[in-house]
Structure 1
Amino acid sequence: MKNNKIFLIGLLAMVFLTACNEDVLEYKPEGLLSQADVSTTENLEGLVIAAYAGIANDEMVGPITHQWVYGSVRADDAYKGGGGIGDVDVINRYEMYNLTIPDYGDWMTPKTWVNHYKAISRANFALELINEASEADFPKKTLRQAELRFLRAHSHFMLKLLFKKVPYIVETMTAEEKANATNDMTNDELWNMIADDFLFAYNNLPQSQDEVGRADRSAAAAYLAKLRLYQAYEQNDTHQVTSINPARLQEVIDYADDVTGALEPDFGNNFLDGFDNGSESIWAAQFSINDGTLVSRVSFVTGLNSPNSTELYGCCGFHLASQNMVNAFKTDTNGLPLLDTFNDVDIFDSVDGNGKAPLAPGITLDPRIDHTVGIPGRPFKYRNTVNEAGDMIYNFSWARDPGVYGYFGNMKEQQAPDCSCYVKEGPFVGTSKNVDFIRYADVLLWKAEALIQLNQVSQGIAIINRIRDRAANSTNRPINAGATDVYAIGTYPLTLSKEDALKALKFERRLEFAMEGARFFDLVRWGQAAQVLNGYVAVEKTKRDFLANAQFTAGRDEYYPIPQREIDVTGGLYTQNPGY
C-alpha cells in the first residue's frame, strides 16, 4: 500500500457517492444522511475527498485520466491494436477519423463527457455546502474551496481539449440556469472561465500540501501555464490557428517559473511503481491497493492494453506503438533526432527465426525508445531474466494480431506482473500506479516553447537540452539486449534559428511524451494536425492495410462531436462542432 499520507478516498465518500442522477449537470450524490448531517465539518471534508475521487473514477470505456485513446491512437503515436479492427470498433473509427455522425456507434466519448460532468458535479455539490459554512465552524473553508475549484477547472479543461465548446457549470448557478446553460461562447471566453477557477486555486493554495495528492499552488501554476499556452494559439471557428498571442506566452513563462518540481534522475522512474508523487509528478490521479476497501482503488483505464501473454498478463493487446513513432527514436552521428528524414527507413521492421527484431548496424537510438516501446527480443519493463514473473523479454508472440497491427507493444503504462501494485480481474489488468496529468518535464517544455516563440531561442534550447541530458543518463536499468544496440543522444547548439528550434521543440515533446496521450492535442494546438496526420497516414497505410481509408478532415477532426444525446436532452441548446 502506498504511503498512508496519500490522500485518496475514504469510507465517507463511499456513503455519499453510490448513485447517479439522470441529469448529469444536476448530478448530486445520494446517501443516507440529511443535509444538516452532511454539513458537519467531518462530512464536508468527506465531500472534498469524494470530489477528488471523481476525477479518477475512470474506466476502459469512458476514460478520463489516461488519454491513450483520444491523444495517442488518434495521433501518429500508436495503433488501436486488439483482435482486429472490429475489436472495440469505435476506437477504429477514431483512428480512421470517421466520426461524421455523432453517437452513431460511438459510446465512448459520450461516457467520457458524462464522467467528467459527474466529477464537476461532485465539486459543485461540495462547494454549495462549504460556501454556507462559517470560517469559525470550518477553518479550512477557503483552502477546500480552492481545491474544489481546481478540480472543477481540471475537468472542464479536459472536456475542452476533447470537445472545444462545452458548458461551464458552477455551484452558484440555479437549477434553471444549469438546465439552460449553453456551450455558445468564444474560445477565449471559455479559456478564461477555466482560468478563473485555477487562479482562485493559485491565490489560495499553499505551495505544497502535507497530504500528498491534494492540489497545491504549484499544480495550479502548472495548469495555468498549460492553459495560457493553449490559449496563446488563437483559433477561428474551424479550429485553424490564426495568430499566436505574445502576452499569453509571457504568462506561460511566469507561471512555469512558479512551479516547484524537478526531473527524476532516470526517465524510467516516471513509469514505475514506487515513484508516485515524486519530484516530477506535479499533478496526478491517485490510486491505491490493499487500502481496506473491498476491491481496492486501482486504475483500469489501460486495462485493455497489457501484452497478449496469457502466462504473464492476459489480454488484450491494445495501444500498440506505430512504426512511425518507433522510427522517430533514431539519431544521427551527433546523437540528434532525424527531424525531417526519420521515417525514410524503418527500424525493427522484421523478426528473425528466434523471434527477435534486430537493429541494423550503424543505427543509433535515443534510449527513451526502450522505456516506451515493447520490441521483440528486448527486455520488457527492465527485466532481462526469467524470474517468478516468467521470462520478461518481450516476445513476438505477445502481439495479438501482428498481421494487422504489427508487433510493437507499449511499455510506459505497464507494470511487471509480480509488482505489488498489480491486480488482475478476469483478463483485465489494473494497477495502483498513479496517472500523471502533468509532469515537470511538461512544464519545462511549455516554458521552452513560449521562450522560442518569443524569440528567446537560446534559452528555450537550453531547456530542451536539460530534457535530453536526462534521457542520456537513463540507461542504467536493463533496457537493451545486444551488442548491436547503440544509444547516442546529444544536445542542440544554442545557435539554432527560431524555425529550427521550434521544430526541435515539437519533436522533443513527441519523444518525451510518446504514448502518454499528449500528441494529438499538441498537434491541434500548433495547427498542424491535418498536415502531420495525413502525411503519417499516407506512408503508414503502405505498411498497415487497416489505414487504407483513413483521412483527417481539417476544420472537423481537431475535436470530437458534442454527444448527440446531450444536444437532444437540452432541446438543442448545445451547438454542434463544425462538420458533424
Structure 2
Amino acid sequence: MKNLHKSIIVLCLLFIVYSCGKGFLEQKPQAILSEEQLKGAKGVESALIGAYGIMNGNISGTWGNYSSSPSQWLFGEVGSDNAHKGSNSLDQSPMNDIELHRVNPSNDNLPTMWRVYYEGIGRCNLTLSLLKAVQEGSGEKLSDQRAKEITGEARLLRGHYYFFLARVFRDIPYVDETMSTQEAAKVKNDKDVFPMIEADFKAAIDNLPADKPLGDVGRVDKRAAQAYLGKLYLYQKKYAEALPLFQEVINNKPALSTLAFDANFNIKTKNGPEGVLVSQSIINPDGSGDNGNVGDMLGGLYGGPINCCGFFQPTVDLVNSFKVNASGLPLLDGSYRDNPYVSDQGLTGAAKDNYKVNTAIAFDPRLDYTVGRRDVNYRDWGVLQGSWIRDQAFSGPFVGVKQMINVADMDGNVSPGASNITAQNVNIIRLSDVYLMAAECAVETNALPLALTMVNAVRQRAASLPAVKAGSGSAAAQYNVKPYASFPNQAYARNAVRFERRLELALEGHRFFDLVRWGTAKSVLEPFMEFEKKYVAASRTITYTDKNNYLPLPQEQIDRAQGALIQNQ
C-alpha cells in the first residue's frame, strides 16, 4: 500500500520495543534508536508507522499471535455459536476453554492479547509525545495540517487498541502520552475507559480528512473515525447519537449495491471501497511473513494447497442458520435446527467416501462464500475433500472461506515455506457492518422504515452472488435470498437485524461481542451447545453466567502490577 508498507517493514527492524517488567508498560529499548534520535519530523512519521504496525496483531515473529488477531476469531467467533476451535482436542488446548467458557487467568491466550495491544497503545503515546516535542521545539516542524492528521491517526489507532482490550477484559488501565513510565506502572484498572476512547475518536474526527492522509490506502480517515465512534456509542446503547455517524459514513460511500460481497475476501480486490477500517497485510520482500496475516494463520485447511493448520471451523448451527423459507427469508424462529444438514458428519466407509452434497436445500448464497462444505467447490481449489479436515469428529465437517485466498493468487501473497501466512487483509469495520449498525440504531429508536431499508440493502446485494457449484457441476444449493416486505413491529425488526448481522458478518469476529452487548449470550449459547453437542464432540453442556461476558486479566499482569491491577472476576 505504497510507502506505508515499506515503512512498516523498515521500522520493525529499528523501532523501540516495549516489554513488560515491574509494571505492565515498563519500557525497555531493545533496538538502536532512542527517543531523542526519533525527534524530528521523520522521527514522528516513523513512530506513527510503528503504531500502525500493531494493527495486524503482531509485534514480531509469526507463530503465537492468534488471540491478538485483528479478526478476533478466537474470542469473537470461537467464543460464540459460530465457530469451533477446530483442529483436534490436544493442539492449542487452552483454546478449548475459550470455546467452553471456562477460562482461568493463566490461559496462555490472554497475555498475548494484552501485550500486543498495550504495545500498540505505547507506540501511539510515543507518537503523540514526539509530535508535541517537535512542534514546540526550535528545529524542523511538521506543517500544521500534517500535525493535525498525525494527531488524528494516532488517536484513532489508540482508541482502536483500547476498544479491543476493553471489550475482551472490560476493566483495564488507561495510560496516555502525558504519563511517565513510573506513573503508567501504577495506574489502576478501576475506571471506565469508554469516555477516554470516545475522546480519542472525537479528536480523530476533528483532525482527520475525508481522504486518506498522504494518499496511502492503509491509513485511517474521518469515515473510519465516524464509524468507530458510532460503534462505541452502539456498545453503550446510545442509539440516537450513533445513528447520524453511521449515516454520514453511508452517505459518503458508494451504494452497497455497487460493491461485490466477495470482493471483501479476494486478495486481488483488497482495499476496495467497502473497507472502512482495514488491517493491512503484506509478505515482506524477503518472503518473511511477520507483516502478513499472522493472526489467522491457524485457520488454513489441514490439507489442500496450504496444508495447515485446521483451526477455526464453522459450527453446524451457523451453517443451518443460512437456510431460507420459500420467500427467501431466514428462519427467525430457530426452526433452521429442525432436520439439520450435517454434511458427511457421522458417515463411515463407502458412505463417507462417496458422499454427495444435497443440492435441494434452500440456502442463502452467502453460505458458500463463508463456509466450505464437502463436495462443494472451495474457491479455486476444487471440490472440498474430507481429508482437508484434521479431526472431523471433534470439530465438525465445515471449514472457513473468508480468511483464505485463491491458489491462483498465492504467488507473492504467501510466505515461502509457510503458505498459511498470507497477505490477506482483515476488515475490522466494513460498509455492510455500518449499514447493519445503522439498522440496529433505527430499530432501537423505532425508525422501522429506515431499519428495513438498511437490512434490505444488505440482502439485495447478497442476491447478486453467483451460484457456487457442487462436484456434479450443478448449483450446490437452491440459492434464494429476498428482501423483507415489512417490519411489522419493533421486536420482529430487532430479531431480523440481529439475525442479519450473523449471516452477513459470520466468521469476521463480531458475534460473541454482539451477544454480550445485546444481553443474550446466556440465552443463545446454552441452547446452542445442547444442539451442537449432538453432532460435534468439541461441544458440551455449559452453564453461562455474566462473568463469562469478559475474560479474566492475565495472571502475569496481576502479579507484575504489584497491587495496581485488580482481577475483574
Mark yes or no: TM-score above 0.5: yes
Which residue does 1:112 correspond to in 2? 113
Out of 185, 204, 224, the position equivalent to 1:201 is 204
Separation in 1 of the partners of 2:201 and 2:312?
A: 32
8 Å Cα contact 1:334/1:490 also seen in 2: yes
Q: SS at 2:420's partner residue? A: strand
Q: Residue 534 of structure 1 aligns to which amino acid in structure 2?
A: E
Q: SS at 2:365's partner residue? A: coil
Out of 315, 325, 331, the position equivalent to 1:338 is 331
8 Å Cα contact 2:233/2:242 also seen in 1: yes
Distance 1:152 1:7, change over 3 A: farther
Which residue does 2:130 correspond to in 1? 129
What does 1:72-471 align with in structure 2 at a 5 Å threshold? 72-82=77-87, 84-99=88-103, 101-103=104-106, 106-134=107-135, 137-139=141-143, 140-185=146-191, 189-209=192-212, 210-232=215-237, 248-259=238-249, 260-262=252-254, 263=256, 265-291=259-285, 295=289, 297-309=291-303, 311-340=304-333, 341-350=335-344, 352=351, 355-359=354-358, 361=360, 363-381=361-379, 383=380, 392-419=382-409, 420-424=411-415, 426=417, 429-471=420-462
Q: SS at 1:79's partner residue? A: strand
8 Å Cα contact 2:174/2:189 also seen in 1: yes
Q: SS at 1:487's partner residue? A: coil
Separation in 2 of the partners of 1:137 and 1:114?
A: 32
Shift of 1:3: 5.4
Which residue does 1:43 correspond to in 2? 43
Shift of 1:496: 2.2
Q: SS at 1:347's partner residue? A: coil
8 Å Cα contact 1:62/1:115 also seen in 2: no
Out of 522, 542, 562, the position equivalent to 2:553 is 562
Separation in 2 of the partners of 1:456 and 1:315?
A: 47
Shift of 1:197: 0.6
Which residue does 2:61 correspond to in 1? none
Q: SS at 1:203's partner residue? A: helix
Q: Residue 336 of structure 1 aligns to which amino acid in structure 2?
A: L
Distance 1:327 1:57, change over 3 A: closer
Q: SS at 1:442's partner residue? A: helix
Shift of 1:169: 1.0
Shift of 1:61: 4.0
Q: Residue 566 of structure 1 aligns to which amino acid in structure 2?
A: Q
Separation in 1 of the partners of 2:33 and 2:534?
A: 61
8 Å Cα contact 1:280/1:440 also seen in 2: yes
Which residue does 1:56 correspond to in 2? 56
What does 1:490-529 align with in structure 2 at a 5 Å threshold? 490-529=482-521
Separation in 2 of the partners of 1:12 and 1:290?
A: 13
Deviations 1:309-331 (A, max 9, x none): 1x512122111111000000000
Q: Residue 86 of structure 1 aligns to which amino acid in structure 2?
A: L
Give the helix-richer structure, 1 or 2: 2
Q: Residue 45 of structure 2 aligns to which amino acid in structure 1?
A: E
Q: Residue 374 of structure 1 aligns to which amino acid in structure 2?
A: G
Shift of 1:290: 4.8
Which residue does 1:386 correspond to in 2? none
Shift of 1:295: 5.0
Q: Which ranges in structure 2 are unaligned for 5 or more consecutive residues? A: 59-63
Separation in 2 of the partners of 1:530 and 1:428?
A: 38
8 Å Cα contact 2:155/2:203 also seen in 1: yes
Shift of 1:26: 3.2
Deviations 1:496-551 (A, max 9, x none): 21100000001000000111111000000100001100010111112223323x41
Instruction: Point out the more displaced range, 344-353 or 168-177.
Output: 344-353
Distance 1:37 1:3, change over 3 A: closer
Which residue does 1:243 correspond to in 2? none
8 Å Cα contact 2:373/2:399 also seen in 1: yes
Q: Residue 409 of structure 1 aligns to which amino acid in structure 2?
A: V
Distance 1:395 1:150, change over 3 A: same
Separation in 2 of the partners of 1:574 and 1:132?
A: 31
Distance 1:295 1:336, change over 3 A: closer
8 Å Cα contact 1:364/1:485 also seen in 2: yes
8 Å Cα contact 1:366/1:488 also seen in 2: yes
Shift of 1:575: 2.3
8 Å Cα contact 1:422/1:431 also seen in 2: yes
8 Å Cα contact 2:66/2:296 also seen in 1: no
8 Å Cα contact 2:85/2:99 also seen in 1: yes
Q: SS at 1:170's partner residue? A: coil
Separation in 1 of the partners of 2:284 and 2:469?
A: 29
TM-score normalized by the length of structure 1? 0.89
Which residue does 2:71 correspond to in 1? 66
Shift of 1:423: 2.0
Q: Residue 372 of structure 1 aligns to which amino acid in structure 2?
A: T
8 Å Cα contact 1:13/1:46 also seen in 2: no
Separation in 1 of the partners of 2:400 and 2:34?
A: 48
8 Å Cα contact 2:278/2:426 also seen in 1: yes
Distance 1:425 1:27, change over 3 A: farther
Separation in 2 of the partners of 1:46 and 1:3?
A: 15
8 Å Cα contact 1:265/1:473 also seen in 2: no
Shift of 1:14: 2.2
Deviations 1:400-422 (A, max 9, x none): 11122222111111112342353
Q: Residue 42 of structure 2 aligns to which amino acid in structure 1?
A: E
Shift of 1:191: 1.2
Distance 1:471 1:31, change over 3 A: same
Q: Which ranges in structure 1 are unaligned for 5 or more consecutive residues? A: 233-247, 384-390
Shift of 1:111: 1.2
Separation in 2 of the partners of 1:128 and 1:146?
A: 14
Instruction: Please give the root-mean-square deviation of Cα atoms over the aligned residues, in Å.
Output: 2.2
Which residue does 1:244 correspond to in 2? none
Which residue does 1:26 correspond to in 2? 26
Deviations 1:159-179 (A, max 9, x none): 011011111110112333212
Which residue does 1:577 correspond to in 2? 568
Aligned residues: 544
Q: Residue 432 of structure 2 aligns to which amino acid in structure 1?
A: A
Deviations 1:27-51 (A, max 9, x none): 3654324444311211221111111
Report the identity percentage.
Answer: 32
Q: Residue 509 of structure 1 aligns to which amino acid in structure 2?
A: R
Q: SS at 1:462's partner residue? A: helix
Separation in 2 of the partners of 1:178 and 1:33?
A: 22
8 Å Cα contact 1:355/1:377 also seen in 2: no
Shift of 1:110: 1.3
What does 1:476-487 align with in structure 2 at a 5 Å threshold? 481-483=473-475, 485-487=477-479
Distance 1:8 1:470, change over 3 A: farther
